[in-house]
């Protein structure tokens, strides 16, 4: 009888002891400040008394700061190239096509010398106002219609279609403001008054009010511009999104494979590996989208300024001004007229300004890469060589679990 009782006690002790041991290892945290050893706290697992994940927080904040600064600098420094590109696109009678950035140098020098240093940043405020209008319109239309603002690769065809339809509606609504902003970025400061901050809103609303009856006989109505605008903007958005997603996914997948490589062991991603792939993917997507949709943009910009009595700088020499007088009946007529009168290269007027824009962007991206690498090295050096060494842990009361027992 006693033997059976002892055998049952040993079996219960083994069963409940193993259960408690498993539960302790899985559920109870290893808290170095806890005094209760029975709850899974081992003195041998003590760590230095410092804020948890402080290095990770600094790394994340620094990475986001570098990313935002690079994007802001890219937007600010690329605007003069955008102004030059748009002026070349609508200068239908220009002798120089400016297919390379070298032919633009003398023009830029003359414009800067005669009109001042900030002349190529004209219309910058209207560009951001139009972006704000687009964001608010997208939010409002999404709330009313239920179309999704964000999609992923796991989204259904219906959800993707709703997202593209939402983008199309937003582009159609903002068409008159796109046209008004374009006029502000290309008109010459010599022959035109400097526009006010909110003039782009007034001009956009004026075009909406004259939806079917433009104020000028040659000016195209908004409904004639809406469909070409939607086609161009959607094409640009789709190409940009696909290229950006493909490159970003490929780079992150490669980093994940290297991180999980059994031969190399588990390695923590650096600041460069965490944030730079997205910046590079954004650069590549924008470059491909701008290059592939460039002819559509040229045609659309000429239709935007037609009938607006716009006077631009002379892009051939940078001296004097040139009025824009065209009589296109629509998108197809403008496209065929350019091919007939200017040839295929007429659709790529100002391509040199686009090359200059992305060369500037590439330099900023290179600088961001150097900053990321420098920051990664500094943070890695701090992890390897901390300023203060942790105190040695007290001896463990349990045999076999001394210093270095938990890795």
pLDDT digit string (tens) for 174-215?
999 999 999 999 999 888 788 888 899 999 998 887 655 566
Q: What is the pLDDT of residue 66?
A: 66
Q: What is the pLDDT of residue 9?
A: 55
CA distance 349 to 162: 35
Instruction: Tell whether the model's pLDDT for residue 30 goes beyond 70.
Output: no
Instruction: Tell whether the model's pLDDT for residue 407 goes beyond 60.
Output: no
CA distance 172 to 45: 62
Q: Which residues have C-beta within 8 Å of that of residue 284, sequence separation ≥ 6? A: 243, 244, 247
pLDDT, averaged across the chain: 79
Instruction: Tell whether the model's pLDDT for residue 386 goes beyond 60.
Output: no
251-280 CB burial, b ≥16 within 10 A, e <16:
bbeebeeeeeeeeeeeeeebbbbbbbbebb
| Tokens at 180, concatenated | 């008004």
Task: Specify burial of residue 194 (Cβ count, 10 A radius: 0-12, 13-18, 19+).
Answer: exposed
CA distance 135 to 177: 13
Q: What is the pLDDT of residue 194?
A: 83
CA distance 351 to 86: 10
Q: What is the pLDDT of residue 16?
A: 44
Instruction: Tell whether the model's pLDDT for residue 258 goes beyond 80.
Output: no
CA distance 70 to 192: 33
Question: 150 in helix, strand or coil?
Answer: coil
Strands in 225-325 per DSSP E: 311-313, 321-323
CA distance 243 to 238: 9
Q: Which residue has the higher pLDDT, 313 or 271?
A: 313
Is there a contact between 92 and 302 (Cβ–Cβ < 8 Å)? yes
Question: 330 in helix, strand or coil?
Answer: coil
Q: What is the pLDDT of residue 266?
A: 56
Task: Find the mean pLDDT for residues 362-377.
Answer: 80
Question: 187 in helix, strand or coil?
Answer: strand
Q: How many CB atoms lie within 10 A of CB 233?
A: 23
Domains in the chain, please, with CATH? 65-382 (1.50.40.10)
Q: How confident is the model at residue 54 (pLDDT cuts 50, 70, 90)?
A: low
Instruction: Tell whether the model's pLDDT for residue 275 goes beyond 80.
Output: no
In the block, residue with structure tokens 């190239």: 81
Residue-level length of the chain: 407
| Tokens at 184, concatenated | 């502000």
């Amino acid at each position: 009888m006693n033997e059976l009782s002892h055998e049952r006690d040993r079996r219960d002790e083994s069963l409940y002891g193993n259960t408690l041991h498993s539960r302790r290892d899985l559920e109870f945290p290893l808290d170095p400040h806890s005094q209760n050893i029975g709850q899974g706290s081992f003195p041998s697992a003590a760590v230095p008394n410092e804020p948890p994940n402080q290095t990770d927080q600094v790394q994340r904040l620094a990475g986001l700061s570098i990313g935002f600064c690079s994007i802001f600098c890219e937007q600010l420094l690329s605007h003069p190239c955008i102004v030059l590109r748009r002026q070349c696109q609508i200068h239908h009678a220009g002798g120089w096509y400016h297919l390379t950035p070298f032919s633009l140098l003398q023009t830029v020098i003359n414009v800067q010398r005669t009109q001042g240093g900030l002349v190529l940043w004209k219309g910058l405020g209207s560009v951001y106002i139009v972006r704000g209008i687009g964001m608010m319109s997208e939010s409002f239309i999404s709330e009313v219609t239920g179309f999704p603002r964000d999609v992923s690769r796991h989204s259904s065809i219906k959800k993707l279609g709703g997202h593209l339809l939402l983008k199309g509606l937003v582009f159609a609504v903002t068409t008159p403001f796109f046209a008004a902003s374009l006029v502000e970025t290309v008109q010459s400061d010599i022959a035109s008054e400097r526009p006010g901050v909110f003039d782009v809103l007034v001009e956009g609303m004026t075009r909406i009010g004259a939806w079917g009856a433009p104020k000028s006989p040659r000016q195209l109505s908004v409904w004639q511009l809406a469909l070409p605008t939607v086609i161009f903007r959607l094409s640009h958005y789709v190409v940009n999104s696909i290229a950006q997603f493909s490159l970003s996914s490929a780079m992150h997948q490669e980093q994940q494979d290297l991180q999980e490589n059994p031969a190399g062991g588990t390695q923590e991603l650096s600041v460069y590996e965490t944030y730079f792939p997205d910046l590079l993917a954004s650069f590549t997507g924008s470059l491909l989208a701008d290059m592939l949709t460039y002819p559509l943009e040229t045609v659309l910009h000429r239709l935007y300024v037609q009938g607006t009595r716009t006077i631009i700088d002379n892009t051939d020499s940078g001296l004097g001004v040139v009025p824009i007088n065209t009589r296109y009946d629509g998108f197809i007529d403008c496209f065929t007229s350019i091919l007939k009168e200017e040839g295929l290269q007429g659709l790529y007027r100002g391509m040199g300004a686009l090359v200059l824009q992305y060369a500037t962007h590439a330099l900023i991206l290179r600088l961001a890469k150097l900053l990321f690498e420098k920051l990664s090295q500094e943070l890695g050096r701090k992890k390897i060589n901390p300023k203060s060494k942790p105190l040695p842990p007290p001896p463990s009361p349990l045999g076999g679990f001394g210093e270095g027992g938990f890795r």
